[in-house]
Amino acid sequence: MLNDIEKGRSGSGMSIGLRICLLLACAGIGSGCTAHKFANPLAALTSATPNHQQVAVGSTAKAPDTHAQPALTSNVRATAAYAPTIRNKTNPDNKYSQLRQDDIVTGSTGKSDAVLGQGKSRIERISNTISPSCRRILAHAGIESTLLRSPTINGSVNSDQDINIGASYDLLDLRRANLKEQLAMVQCARNDAAAKLAQLLVTSNQSLNQAGFQAKAGYLKRARGEIASIKQAISSGLNNGELTVFRANVLRQSIRQLEAEAASAEGEANKRQIVRRIQGKSYFDLDRRLEETETRIQQLESQMRSADALKFKASVGYAQRGDGSDDITISDDGEMTAKIAVSVRLGAYSPQRFELEDIASDARAASLYEVNNGVLWRSLEAARINKIVVGSLQLQRSKVRSALSAARQSAADGAGSARPDRISAHLKGRIEVVRLTAELAALNATLSDTTRLDTKLTFRQ
């Protein structure tokens, strides 16, 4: 039997040697040559979109931002090297049902974000990524993919001085490493979109107030000349005996309240400047992009589960028999061996598994619109409330206009009169005209801002 084994070894020596060379080459490729696939997505982070123009995922259409200013983007792209096409099972005719990973997934964050992900090596590109959370995700994916792309080396020696040295590699680890890197890139995109949406929702209530306060403060600042003129008229009336001390003090108190309102409005407007900067960003198509990143994550996770269910392990080894060994399976001169082992977890191909994958995929997208919980539901609810606010503001504006008309009439009726009560009514009317005109400016600005905010909350800009 030993002779048969030896004959078999000598007869197939060239074939085994060739196979060993090929397997060693595969192990080398697995540990190094696919690293360039991680370079492309990170290099894509440096891509700039002038004037905040957004490219929709799965679409080539661009939507210009009306608040245009040259800015680099923190758009997270995935590389075209992976670029599988996503099909929407529930709506295959949807023009957005195809998603390629080399499309821009997120919007720009502004000129101050600088260039993202530049560098020659993969580590440099990760280190230069502007977002710490994305940098962490990419680094973790890089660690895991580095381990997956490396072969396993093993060796042993026993008391008989039999030596065994070998190397093994699961060829599917290449796919697992690529899937982990793709998933990391899409997670960065999802996190960026989710962060922008959270900013939008948090600042929406503040936005209308900011516009109103800013308009009110601006008008009262421009009305300083009129206010000074009213103060002078009060002093003149008091000195000339046309106003009593009581009436003059009442008018001066009204002036002081008006000046306090001006200072308060300016302070509130300045306090909300950050809101204006955040609201100035583009949120075009953010809802669809967030849906598609969630769908893509689900698909990548499904592919990773399928890859984990398969093992395609190639191994090579060298064994040498010791001087005192009686192991007849090892030749005196030593020998090389090669082996390929394949294993499959059958549950990965169970129809029930695929049904559950579909359920999870549909639920992941639907959860974004879940009542009281989904982030996109909150956006739609905020847009609905914003429309209700418009009716209330219009009614309030109508009442302010009526009050302003009455104040102007009162100011006009008392002009030029010598009667103390008419002079007092005239000056009070002038004060009310300034105050109500400032309120009207605030309401007009707020109403104008509701339209802009509606386009933000419905992701049309």
Least trusted range by pLDDT, from 120-124, 209-213, 304-308, 309-313? 120-124
pLDDT of residue 116: 47
| 52, 68 contact by CB (below 8 A) | yes
348 and 432, same structural domain? no
User: Cα(84)–Cα(163) distance, rounded to whole angstroms?
Assistant: 46
Q: Which of 91, 33, 29, 14 is nearest to 58 (CA)?
A: 91
Work out the burial of residue 147: count CB atoms within 10 Å of its CB; fewer than 13 is exposed, 13-18 middle, 19 or more buried.
Answer: exposed
The number of beta carbons lying within 10 Å of the beta carbon of residue 184 is: 26
145 and 40, same structural domain? yes
- Using pLDDT thresholds of 50, 70 and 90, give the confidence band for residue 108: very low
Residues with Cβ < 8 Å from 321, sequence gap 6 or more? 160, 162, 327, 330, 331, 332, 334
The helix, strand and coil proportions of the chain, stated in percent and rounded to the nearest 5, come to: 65, 10, 25
- Using pLDDT thresholds of 50, 70 and 90, give the confidence band for residue 13: very low
Record the tokens describing residue 401, joined without a space: 């206009």
| 345, 309 contact by CB (below 8 A) | yes
Q: Which amino acid is at 424?
A: S
157 and 32, same structural domain? yes
Q: Is the pLDDT of residue 326 over 50?
A: yes
pLDDT (mean) for 3-24: 39
- Using pLDDT thresholds of 50, 70 and 90, give the confidence band for residue 320: confident
Q: Is the pLDDT of residue 29 over 70?
A: no
Q: Which of 233, 261, 236, 240 is nearest to 428 (CA)?
A: 233
| 189, 293 contact by CB (below 8 A) | yes
336 and 264, same structural domain? no
| 438, 261 contact by CB (below 8 A) | yes
Say which residue the tokens 């009306």 belong to.
Answer: 66
248 and 309, same structural domain? no
pLDDT (mean) for 349-378: 92
Better-scored residue on pLDDT, 429 or 417: 429
pLDDT (mean) for 28-45: 36
252 and 297, same structural domain? no
312 and 271, same structural domain? no
pLDDT in tens, 190-248: 998 888 888 888 887 777 778 889 899 999 999 999 999 999 999 998 888 888 899 89
Residues with Cβ < 8 Å from 47, sequence gap 6 or more? 73, 75, 77, 104
For the chain, the domain total comes to 2
Say which residue the tokens 């230069």 belong to.
Answer: 128
pLDDT of residue 452: 83
Q: Is the pLDDT of residue 375 over 50?
A: yes
Q: Which of 342, 372, 402 is the last residue of a domain?
A: 372
User: Cα(298)–Cα(183) distance, rounded to whole angstroms?
Assistant: 9
3-class secondary-structure state, position 338:
strand
User: Cα(164)–Cα(178) distance, rounded to whole angstroms?
Assistant: 32
Instruction: Tell me what the pLDDT averaged over the chain comes to.
Output: 75
User: Cα(323)–Cα(263) distance, rounded to whole angstroms?
Assistant: 97
What secondary structure does DSSP assign to 192-258, as a single string? HHHHHHHHHHHHHHHHHHHHHHHHHHHHHHHTHHHHHHHHHHHHHHHHTTSS-HHHHHHHHHHHHHH
User: Cα(423)–Cα(193) distance, rounded to whole angstroms?
Assistant: 61
User: Cα(326)–Cα(337) distance, rounded to whole angstroms?
Assistant: 19
| 164, 155 contact by CB (below 8 A) | yes
DSSP label of 86: P
pLDDT in tens, 270-297: 887 777 777 777 888 889 999 999 999 9
Record the tokens describing residue 178, joined without a space: 């690529």
Q: Is the pLDDT of residue 106 over 60?
A: no
173 and 36, same structural domain? yes
- Using pLDDT thresholds of 50, 70 and 90, give the confidence band for residue 117: low
324 and 265, same structural domain? no
76 and 122, same structural domain? yes
136 and 273, same structural domain? no
Strands 163-170 and 310-320: antiparallel
404 and 343, same structural domain? no
pLDDT of residue 54: 34
Q: Which of 345, 372, 399 is the last residue of a domain?
A: 372
User: Cα(190)–Cα(196) distance, rounded to whole angstroms?
Assistant: 10
Better-scored residue on pLDDT, 72 or 168: 168
Q: Which of 372, 407, 437 is the last residue of a domain?
A: 372
Q: Which of 183, 157, 461, 118 is nearest to 321 (CA)?
A: 157
User: Cα(286)–Cα(280) distance, rounded to whole angstroms?
Assistant: 15
pTM score, whole prediction: 0.63
> 128 lies in which domain range?
2-195+290-372
User: Cα(319)–Cα(456) distance, rounded to whole angstroms?
Assistant: 69
The number of beta carbons lying within 10 Å of the beta carbon of residue 276 is: 17
